[in-house]
C-alpha cells in the first residue's frame, strides 16, 4: 500500500527573497501564513491555481496538497507555520476555522499588509523556532483573531489563474488536480482523471509528475487523507464512516494508509489534535 508522507514544520518561518517554485507538491499538518511583500506568487492548492498579490496576508491549512508553481520576477515573501492544535485554544471564529479546514484561503483586506510586524516575527522564529518569546506568540494569536474577524472571501483575495503559459501544461495539470479535489471520494482511475483533461493516460501521468513532483495516485491519496483529517477534526463520525466518506474502500485500507502516513491511528489523531 502506498504511503504519502506528511512533512512537519511546527512553529517555523522563513523569508524568501526571491521565493523559488517548489519541485513537488507537499502537505503538512500546520496552519500556514503567507505574505508577499513585492510581486506575486502562484500556488497550485487544493486543485486550483491561485495567485497571491503583494500586501495581502493569507492563511490556509497545509494539509491540502499545495505547491508554489510560479513567481513574478523581483518577488519577496515570507511564510510562517503554526501548529494546528493552537487553533482550538485561540478562540477563533468557528466559521473561520471551518473555512480553513475545508481547504479555503482566508485573505486579509487590501491595504492591511503593514498592520503586523511579519518581518520581525520571521527573524525571531528563524532564530528561536519553538522557543519564541511569549510576546511573539501573543502577537501571532492577535493576528489570527483579527484575521478571523476581517478575512474577506477567498475569491476577492486571490486571482484565479487559468494557465501560467499555454504551452507549459499547467492548464491540463490544474484540470486534473481539480478533478481529484472534487471527486476524490469516487473510485477514480488514472484514465478517468486523464480523460477529464482530454489527455491519454500515457501522456497525463508523466506530465503531472513532471509539473507536480508526485504521481497522480499520490495526489489523489493526499486529498483523501486531507478529507479524513478534516472529518476527524470537525465531526464525531465513526472511523468507518470517515474512511468511506474520504474515498477509501475498506476500513483496513484506511487504517493502513492513515497510520503509516500520519504516524498515528485515526482515533489518536482525533484526540491529539482536538485536545
For the chain, state the CA radius of gyration. Answer: 18
Q: 97 and 26, same structural domain?
A: yes
Alpha-carbon distance 64 to 222, whole Å? Answer: 7
Alpha-carbon distance 250 to 253, whole Å? Answer: 5
Q: 149 and 44, same structural domain?
A: yes
Can you tell me which residue has the cell 464512516?
241
Confidence of residue 163 (pLDDT cuts 50, 70, 90): very low
Q: 142 and 228, same structural domain?
A: no
| Phi, psi of 146, deg, nearest 5 | -65, -45
Q: Return the beta strands (E) in 62-218 as ranges.
A: 66-71, 76-82, 106-107, 158-160
pLDDT at position 162: 43
Asked whether residue 131 is assigned to any structural domain, the reply reads: yes
Judged against a pLDDT cut of 90, whether residue 194 lies above it is answered with yes
Alpha-carbon distance 59 to 146, whole Å? Answer: 12
pLDDT (average), residues 114-140: 88
pLDDT at position 128: 80
Alpha-carbon distance 207 to 214, whole Å? Answer: 10
Are the C-beta atoms of 117 and 135 separated by less than 8 Å? no
The edge-to-edge listing of strands for the beta sheet with 57-61 is 12-16, 76-82, 31-38, 57-61, 106-107
Q: 189 and 212, same structural domain?
A: yes
Q: Which of 160, 180, 214 is the last residue of a domain?
A: 160
C-alpha distances out from residue 153 to 108, 149, 182, Å: 9, 12, 20
Mean pLDDT of the chain: 88
Q: 42 and 132, same structural domain?
A: yes
pLDDT (average), residues 177-197: 93
pLDDT tens for 77-103 read: 999 999 988 888 888 888 888 889 888
Asked whether residue 5 is assigned to any structural domain, the reply reads: no
Q: 121 and 46, same structural domain?
A: yes
Q: What percent of the chain has pLDDT over 70?
A: 92
Q: 146 and 35, same structural domain?
A: yes
In this structure, what CATH number is given to the domain that contains residue 73? Answer: 2.60.120.280
pLDDT tens for 230-261 read: 999 989 999 999 999 999 999 999 999 999 98
Alpha-carbon distance 38 to 42, whole Å? Answer: 13
Confidence of residue 161 (pLDDT cuts 50, 70, 90): very low
Are the C-beta atoms of 84 and 273 separated by less than 8 Å? yes
What's the pTM?
A: 0.83
Query: Nine-digit cell at 65?
Result: 496538497
Total domains present in the chain: 2
Q: Which of 110, 133, 160 is the last residue of a domain?
A: 160
pLDDT at position 164: 45
- The number of beta carbons lying within 10 Å of the beta carbon of residue 188 is 17
Q: 266 and 194, same structural domain?
A: yes
Domain that holds residue 55: 12-160
Query: Nine-digit cell at 16?
Result: 524568501
Asked whether residue 2 is assigned to any structural domain, the reply reads: no
Q: 249 and 142, same structural domain?
A: no
Q: 196 and 128, same structural domain?
A: no
Q: 85 and 127, same structural domain?
A: yes
CA geometry: angle 48, 2, 191, nearest 5 deg: 55
- CA dihedral 209→178→196→163, nearest 10 degrees, is -70
Amino acid at each position: 500500500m502506498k504511503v504519502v508522507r506528511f512533512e512537519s514544520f511546527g512553529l517555523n518561518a522563513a523569508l524568501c527573497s526571491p521565493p523559488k517554485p517548489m519541485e513537488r507538491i507537499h502537505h503538512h499538518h500546520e496552519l500556514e501564513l503567507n505574505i508577499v511583500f513585492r510581486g506575486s506568487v502562484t500556488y497550485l492548492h487544493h486543485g486550483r491555481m491561485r495567485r497571491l498579490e503583494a500586501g495581502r496576508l493569507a492563511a490556509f491549512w497545509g494539509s491540502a496538497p499545495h505547491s508554489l508553481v510560479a513567481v513574478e520576477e523581483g518577488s519577496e515573501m515570507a511564510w510562517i507555520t503554526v501548529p494546528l492544535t493552537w487553533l482550538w485554544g485561540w478562540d477563533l471564529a468557528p466559521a473561520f476555522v471551518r473555512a480553513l479546514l475545508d481547504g479555503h484561503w482566508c485573505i486579509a483586506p487590501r491595504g492591511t499588509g503593514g498592520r503586523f510586524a511579519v518581518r520581525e516575527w520571521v527573524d525571531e522564529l528563524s532564530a528561536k523556532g519553538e522557543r519564541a518569546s511569549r510576546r511573539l506568540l501573543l502577537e501571532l494569536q492577535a493576528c489570527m483573531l483579527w484575521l478571523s474577524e476581517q478575512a474577506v472571501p477567498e475569491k476577492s483575495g486571490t486571482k484565479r489563474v487559468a494557465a501560467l503559459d499555454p504551452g507549459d501544461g499547467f492548464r491540463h495539470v490544474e484540470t486534473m488536480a481539480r478533478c481529484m479535489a472534487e471527486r476524490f471520494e469516487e473510485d477514480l482511475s488514472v484514465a478517468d482523471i486523464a480523460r477529464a483533461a482530454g489527455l491519454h493516460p500515457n501522456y497525463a501521468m508523466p506530465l503531472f509528475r513532471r509539473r507536480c513532483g508526485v504521481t497522480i495516485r499520490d495526489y489523489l491519496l493526499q486529498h483523501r487523507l486531507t478529507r479524513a483529517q478534516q472529518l476527524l477534526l470537525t465531526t464525531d463520525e465513526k472511523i468507518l464512516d470517515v474512511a468511506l466518506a474520504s474515498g477509501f474502500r475498506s476500513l483496513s485500507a484506511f487504517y493502513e494508509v492513515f497510520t503509516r502516513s500520519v504516524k498515528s491511528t485515526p482515533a489518536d489523531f482525533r484526540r491529539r489534535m482536538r485536545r
